[in-house]
Amino acid sequence: MGISSDLFVGEVGEDLVCSICQEILDGATLSGCQQQHAYCRTCLTQWVKRPHVAKTCPDCRQAVHEAHFAPLKLLDRMVGRLKVKCKHAGCSWQAEYSDLAAHLASTCQYQRKPCPYAQRGCRAQLRPISAGAHIQNSCDYRTVVCPRGGNDCGGAKKGIYMRKDEAAHAEVCTRHTCKNQGCNTTGRLKTLKLHQHGCDAISAARVRAENRCSLLDHSSKALRDENARLKAVNTKVTDDNKKLEDEVARLKAQLAPRPPKRGAEVLDEVKQEEEDPAPPKDQQPSLSFLGPRGSTFEGGDRRSTRLRGASK
């Protein structure tokens, strides 16, 4: 089978095409006919091995014999100088066909190669572009150090092992730690399993106690707030009482007896009252503002009206 003509950039001369496989000559070989027709080595060998068919040159039908097949290096060199592109889609490399093998073996980022840990048993074929991710994340044969200790945490390899042995190391590792916060117990998985039941109970009790403490904190804060509020109310009531007492004292002073009136004035007043009888009792000036509630005095207008009535 010849070299895929898809690799070649541009036209390839007819003399370099194998007329058995229709591809580019791979190991050009003369059939031994007088016309010097050439074919790929494998194509020509298989051609004459077909059963029940006479051994003839595929082009000119002249009888040929394997003993007369002869390589023609000149044609190989001509093929080697033809321009090709890399066989991997995505790779932009282009050069002479004779450089393709070296490109695939070394610089091509799309050509799969065995994992660096193939000797340890990894079967992965990797593109250089993705080899790093394979080794870092999934190669079972990569060396890892135990995340719990490394180097001295137990087992034959003392915490350094291949990734595939992770579970086996976990069984013998002596650095497992209790998952409960505040507990420093370490040991093998088996030991910790025995420890865990009792430790869980203690840990749960501690959490419950911490919750109770925070509840108490909360209610004592509410009590402090309520106390402060009551103190404020008390202060206001005391202030109001003081204002009331002051007001009463002021009114008493205003109602104190006046000096006696002269005779003519008394007569005038009696006369006036006879013409203008006293108003009904409910229209008389009220003294209800003397009650215990300070609010009665708060409106300036109301107070001044009442005070005018009281002083008449």
Please report, as ranges, the residues that interact with Zn ion according to CB under 5 A: 2, 18, 20-21, 33, 35, 37, 40, 43, 57, 59-60, 86, 88, 91, 93, 108, 115, 117, 122, 124, 139, 146, 148-149, 153, 159, 173, 178, 180, 183, 185, 199
- What is the smallest separation between the CB atom of 229 and Zn ion, expressed in angstroms? 46
- What is the smallest separation between the CB atom of 149 and Zn ion, expressed in angstroms? 5
The pair of structure tokens assigned to 226 is 């309520």
Q: Give the number of C-alpha atoms closer than 13 A to the C-alpha of residue 253, restricted to the C-beta side.
A: 6
Q: Which is nearer to Zn ion, 40 or 244 (by Cβ)?
A: 40
Hey, which residues does 7 pair with through a beta bridge?
none
- What is the smallest separation between the CB atom of 223 and Zn ion, expressed in angstroms? 37
Q: Which is nearer to Zn ion, 24 or 244 (by Cβ)?
A: 24
Q: Give the number of C-alpha atoms closer than 13 A to the C-alpha of residue 36, restricted to the C-beta side.
A: 5
Strands in 70-71's sheet, in edge-to-edge order, are 38-40, 28-30, 70-71
- What is the smallest separation between the CB atom of 12 and Zn ion, expressed in angstroms? 13
Q: Which is nearer to Zn ion, 84 or 153 (by Cβ)?
A: 153
CB atoms within 10 A of CB 135: 18
Q: Which is nearer to Zn ion, 109 or 296 (by Cβ)?
A: 109
DSSP 8-state assignment for residue 21: T
Q: Which is nearer to Zn ion, 2 or 289 (by Cβ)?
A: 2
Q: Which is nearer to Zn ion, 16 or 86 (by Cβ)?
A: 86
Letter for the amino acid at 92?
A: S
29: phi then psi, degrees, rounded to nearest 5: -135, 130
Task: Output the CA angle 299-300-304, nearest 5 degrees.
Answer: 120
Quickly count helices (H) and strands (E) in the chain: 8, 11
Q: How far is the C-alpha of 284 from the C-alpha of 277, rounded, in Å?
A: 13
- What is the smallest separation between the CB atom of 173 and Zn ion, expressed in angstroms? 3
- What is the smallest separation between the CB atom of 99 and Zn ion, expressed in angstroms? 11
Hey, which residues does 162 pair with through a beta bridge?
143
